[in-house]
A and B are shown apart, each in its own frame.
Chain A
Amino acid sequence: MMSKIVRTITNILYSSILIFGFYIIMHGHLTPGGGFQGGAVVASGIALVLIAYGYDTVKSWMKKSNLSVLESIGALGFIGIAFLGIGTTFFYNFLANSGGLFGDPTVIGINPGNLDTSGVLPLMNWAVGLKVLAGLGSVVLLMAYGIRKGDEE
């Protein structure tokens, strides 16, 4: 556990980092970024909390098995969405321009962007984002545990 200054700044910054990461994941089809980048931002927030509060405190907030479940959901969702378009091809974008979920046609040319476009891309961004944030988060947790265990021995 680090000093009170670090913990206070972490308390202020943590929610902003999480919201920024989820914003990047959610707007992956409109603005620069996407699932991988947003997941890495969220995982960096997890690493910040882990450094500020130490493994022993964080252990009761985040469990590694929960993160593994989240990662499996992300991976299976990604492959499942890819398989849903197998009527045409693997990874076929069957929702684009269909008028349904995320199915609005986009304006050709430079435009501010509409969140309700681009078919399966937002769903895949969410799947990959979940996978990356859970994967990197569990890696950071495991390494923190390893460091603590190494200090003891």
Chain B
Amino acid sequence: MRKYVLLAALLIVSGFMLLSAVDMHPFGSPDREDMDKYFINNAQEEVSANNVVTSIVFDYRGFDTLGEATVLFTAVVGVSLIFRRLIK
């Protein structure tokens, strides 16, 4: 019984995966390209950085980078807490 349930689940999940793979949007032509066009056309002029990715990460989406830095800080704090007993 358990085997059949697992088999059915596997078939359903792989069916969904195959369906999405067949139905996937072609690579390199996004559905909504307003933001892409804006960044590509204006990032060099507004931020004056050659690397458009960095200008997005640190300027347009700076708040997201702050969150990433906080995640790293939290990870370091967690490791320090785990090993605190050993160091003492």
Contact = CB atoms under 8 A, between A and B. Distances in A.
Contacts, number: 109
A119 B54 CA distance: 12
Contacts of B51: 28-32, 34
Nearest to A128: B69
B contacts with A: majority SS: helix
B11 interface: no
Interface in A103-153: 104-106, 108-109, 111, 113, 117-121, 124-125, 128, 131-132, 135, 138-139, 142-143, 145-146, 149
A113 B55 CA distance: 14
B47 A93 contact: yes
Contacts of B75: 135, 139
A22 interface: no
A75 interface: yes
A82 B66 contact: yes
A71 B76 CA distance: 10
Contacts of B16: none
Contacts of A79: 66
Interface of B: 44-51, 53-55, 57-59, 62-63, 65-66, 68-69, 72-73, 75-76, 79-80, 82-83, 86-87
The 5 closest A-B pairs by CB, nearest first: A91-B62, A118-B49, A106-B48, A29-B49, A135-B76
Given A104-B48, A118-B47, A118-B54, 6 more contacts: A29-B49, A29-B54, A32-B51, A118-B55, A124-B58, A145-B86
9 contacts: A82-B62, A90-B62, A93-B47, A96-B48, A119-B48, A121-B49, A121-B54, A128-B69, A142-B87
